[in-house]
Amino acid sequence: MAIEPRTRRERITLGVLLSPGLFWLIFFFALPFLLIFIYSFLDRGKFGGLVWEFQFDNYIRFADQLYIRIFIRSIIIAAITTVICLLIGYPMAYWMALQPSRTRNTLLLVIMLPFWTNFVIRTYAWRMILARQGQINQLLIALNIITKENAPTYLNTNGAVILGLIYIWLVAMILACYASITGLDRSLLEAAQDLFANPVRTFFRVTLPLTLPGIISGSILVFVPSFGAFVTPDMLGGGKADMIGNLISQQFGEASDWPFGSAISTILMVVMLFGTLLYFRGLRREKVQS
Amino acid sequence: MTVPAVELVNVIKHFGDVVAVNDVNLKIEDGEFFSLLGPSGCGKTTTLRMIAGLETLTSGEILLRGKAIGQTPAFKRPVNTVFQNYALFPHLTVERNVAFGLEMHKIPKEEIKKRVAEALDMVLMGDLSRRRPNQLSGGQQQRIALARALVNRPEVLLLDEPLGALDLKLRKAMQLELKQLQEQVGITFIYVTHDQEEALTMSDRIAVMDEGKILQIGAPQEIYEHPNTRFVADFIGETNFLEGTVSDINGEAIDVSLDDHTIVKAHSDLSVQKGQKVGVVIRPEKINLASSGMVEGKVLEIIYIGTDTRYVVQLKDNTSITVREQNLNSTQANKYKRGDKVGLNWDPANAQVLKK
């Protein structure tokens, strides 16, 4: 629905109504991003700080094997996280959507409950569980599967980072899938059965295509923050520039190289933007189809 | 006699404590247009869904051409359904919607194409094959739903109030079209509706249901002219109901004495005894108004409805009787005034005695 202001008065009203949102977008999104974008073309001073000299060096610097490897590793970790979240989240959302409405509300509450605790604290809990003397190893020792001497640590591995990311972002996948599955017209599933589709075919021919928007938005909701994550890899991955988020935070922190950090941020932004654009184009095609 | 297309044997369906279908027995012949008629919640849709396999049976059996299918899952039953809300797949074109059932049977692409085109032509929707369901009107969606079911050449086609969402004019046109289509393809139709007129117009036979039970099965004329219960008489068309006791029996001709000792002449296929409390059912259009008659009363209301005039006549015991007279000439409606004393007469053969 397009809003078309007809009179001067309407135009003013529209401006007033839109101003809080516009203000928010300009001051908290557009301006910071513009700053980062400008910084990315500057040079780093000898003792940190900025030297106002326009150049492309920061972008050229990123094309280094070391950074590309971090970039690719981040994509892989985020992709694995997304796929596992989908494989756990979709069936769970499906099962939830089948429950009577009272049970459903309780389940939603239970799923969101952990969010009342700060996620740094929750991630610390995982540090304890995964540590050499942690609960996992205690259990395995008690079961005589391993001994105290050869107990491994699970911390500071890619696996631990993926686990941490899944733990944080699974709920986003569940909620996105849940929303589209509850919106699915059950009579379509009956129609498919009536037209000789067994349960497996009903799922792949009807349920899956019709809940695809939920899968796509869930995947974006998991992939984007996982790709840029830095707290989780810092706490569970050892924090040695495991992922691109750590690299950026290092540039702004210890390395005091704001221009390079800005360049990496800009690259990250552009990649994400393209991903989202592709997603919206996919959605539009879906809309035309349905 | 040949094997019935569909047979229901002692079919019972419970939803928790609620008995939705209570011991239904039914034989539907091959090629028949059979209607399940009743008010909402009478179990007609549940019965249909059990034949489709979309509901399980609590007990009993369903036979399709003599073969038990009560435990067969829906996707293995050679029956198809036209759903009340059409349930067309929104992500598929009209063509792919219609092809869905054939694709599941892994029929060669060429044949699918041919049969889909035929089915769409049959429902006059050939031009719309590339459209999506949401680009179609209700009537068009209804036709596509019909084509999607018929293209599979099912043993039985199940229709769950398929015309319910259409406006009156379109509904009337579709009634005739559906009936013609059914005669053309020769497939057994089981049609669920709460609209008695729809059932009378289209069906070869009708089963009237209430509270999970079948009250009467018969041809439209039989059900209308010889209802076996007050419920059926009331549900199928307008009706008048008088109460009294049997005062004289002469074969099938019965005299019934009303509470005010007026004797009315009626007819019964059932055996009744003298002194028995009975009801008499008589249709408004079967009553003649005259200055005097078998029963007398005064005109309470006159309603002009174009083709007919409807009179509400109040009897001495305050029972209201509706009479319909055809407007054979333009002044017919002016024959009586409100408050006039009138007599009611009818052919005893048209007044049906019901046991109480």
pLDDT at A252 > cutoff 70: yes
Contact of A127 with A119, CB cutoff 8 Å: no
- Is A183 at the interface with chain B, CB within 8 A? no
Region of poorest pLDDT, from A107-111, A185-189, B248-252: B248-252
Q: Compute the mean pLDDT over every residue in chain A, rounded to the nearest whole number.
A: 88
Q: Domain of A166: which CATH number?
A: 1.10.3720.10
Q: Does A132 touch chain B (CB under 8 A)?
A: no
- Report pLDDT for A156: 87
A197: contact with B, CB 8 A cutoff: yes
More confident residue, A226 or B292: A226
Contact B233, B63 (CB under 8 A): no
The pLDDT tens digits of the residues spanning B292-307 come to 888 889 999 999 888 8
Q: How many CA atoms lie within 13 A of B294 on its CB side?
A: 17
- The Cα-based distances of B65 to A123, A159, A227, B323 in angstroms read 64, 60, 61, 46
Task: Among A187, A194, A283, A289, pick the best mutation site for testing chain B contact (most B Cβ within 10 A).
Answer: A194
On whether the CB atoms of residues A32 and A43 are closer than 8 A, the answer is no
Number of domains in chain A: 1
Residues 6+ positions from A27 with CB-CB distance below 8 Å: none
Candidates B76, B80, B83, B100: best to mutate against A (most CBs of A within 10 A) is B100
Q: CB A191 to CB B85 under 8 A?
A: no
pLDDT at position A241: 58
The 3-state secondary structure of chain B, one letter per residue: CCCCCEEEEEEEEEECCEEEEEEEEEEECCCCEEEEECCCCCCHHHHHHHHHCCCCCCEEEEEECCEECCCCCHHHCCEEEECCCCCCCCCCCHHHHHHHHHHHCCCCHHHHHHHHHHHHHHCCCHHHCCCCHHHCCHHHHHHHHHHHHHCCCCCEEEEECCCCCCCHHHHHHHHHHHHHHHHHHCCEEEEEECCHHHHHHHCCEEEEEECCEEEEEECHHHHHHCCCCHHHHHHCCCCEEEEEEEEEEECCEEEEEECCCCEEEEECCCCCCCCCEEEEEECHHHCEEECCCCEEEEEEEEEECCCEEEEEEEECCCCEEEEEEECCCCCHHHCCCCCCEEEEECCHHHCEEEEC
Q: What is the pLDDT of residues A30-63, one digit of tens each?
A: 999 999 999 999 988 877 778 888 888 899 999 8
Q: Which of chain B's residues have a Cβ under 8 Å away from the Cβ of A214?
A: none
- What is the spatial distance between Cα A65 and Cα A73, in angstroms, rounded to a whole number? 12
Residue B183 above 50 pLDDT?
yes
Q: How far apart are CA A209 and CA A220, in angstroms?
A: 17
Residues from chain B contacting residue A201 (CB–CB below 8 Å): 104
A24 assigned to some structural domain: no
pLDDT at A262 over 80: yes
Q: Which of B68-82, B86-100, B301-315 has the lowest mean pLDDT?
A: B301-315
Residue A50 lies in a domain: no
Closest CA to A194 of B150, B74, B91, B147: B74
Instruction: Using DSSP bridges, classify how beta strands B295-304 and B308-315 pair: parallel, antiparallel or unpaired.
Output: antiparallel
CA distance A37 to A265: 8
Cross-chain Cβ contact A185/B87 below 8 Å: yes
Mutation site for A-interface testing, chosen from B15, B51, B75 by largest number of A Cβ within 10 Å:
B75
> Is A198 in Cβ contact with B75 (below 8 Å)?
yes
Instruction: Note the pLDDT of residue A239.
Output: 66
Minimal CA separation from A18 to chain B, in Å: 33
Range of the domain at A129: 67-289
Which pTM does this prediction carry? 0.82
Cβ contact, residue pair B87, A190, below 8 Å: yes
Residue A261 domain-assigned (yes or no) = yes
- Taking an 8 Å cut-off on Cβ atoms, the answer to whether B90 and A290 are in contact is yes
What is the mean predicted confidence (pLDDT) over A161-190?
Answer: 94
pLDDT for B262 equals 87
In this structure, is residue A204 part of a structural domain?
A: yes
* Interface touch B75/A185, C-beta < 8 Å: no
Contact B91 A290 (CB under 8 A): yes
* pLDDT interval class at A117 (50, 70, 90): confident
Write down the pLDDT at residue A1.
44
Between chain A and chain B, the number of residue pairs with CB atoms below 8 A apart is 66
Beta carbons within 8 Å of B219's beta carbon, 6+ residues apart:
B203, B204, B205, B206
Asked if residue A128 belongs to a domain, the reply is: yes
Given CB atoms, is A53 within the 8 Å cutoff of chain B? Answer: no
Q: Are B83 and A191 within 8 A, CB to CB?
A: yes
* Closest chain B residue to A206, measured at CA: B89
Our CA-based measurement puts residue A287 at a distance from the nearest CA of chain B, in whole angstroms, of 9
pLDDT at residue A233 tops 50: yes
Kindly indicate the confidence band of residue B90, based on its pLDDT and cuts at 50, 70 and 90: very high
pLDDT in tens, B26-67: 999 999 999 999 999 999 999 999 999 999 999 999 999 999
In a domain, A162, yes or no: yes
**Interchain proximity B74–A187, CB inside 8 Å:** no
Global ipTM: 0.84
Q: Which of B54, B87, B91 sits opposite A210 (nearest CB)?
A: B91
- Residue A183: pLDDT above 80? yes
Lowest-pLDDT range, A85-89, A134-138, B14-18?
A: A134-138
Q: Residue A2 pLDDT more than 70?
A: no
- pLDDT at residue A290, as a whole number: 46
- Do residues A37 and A262 lie in contact, with contact meaning Cβ atoms separated by under 8 Å? yes
A159 domain-assigned: yes
Residue A283 pLDDT: 65
Question: Is A137 contained in some domain?
Answer: yes
Q: Average pLDDT, stretch A180-189? A: 94
Asked if the model's pLDDT at residue A88 lies above 90, the reply is yes
Q: Which of B50, B81, B89, B148 to mutate to test the interface with A (most CBs of A within 10 A)?
A: B89
User: Is A190's CB within 8 Å of B54's CB?
Assistant: yes
| Among A10-14, B54-58, B67-71, B82-86, the least confident range | A10-14
Task: Select from B162, B172, B169 the least CA-distant residue to B200.
Answer: B172
Tens digits of residue pLDDT in A143-174: 888 888 888 888 888 899 999 999 999 999 99
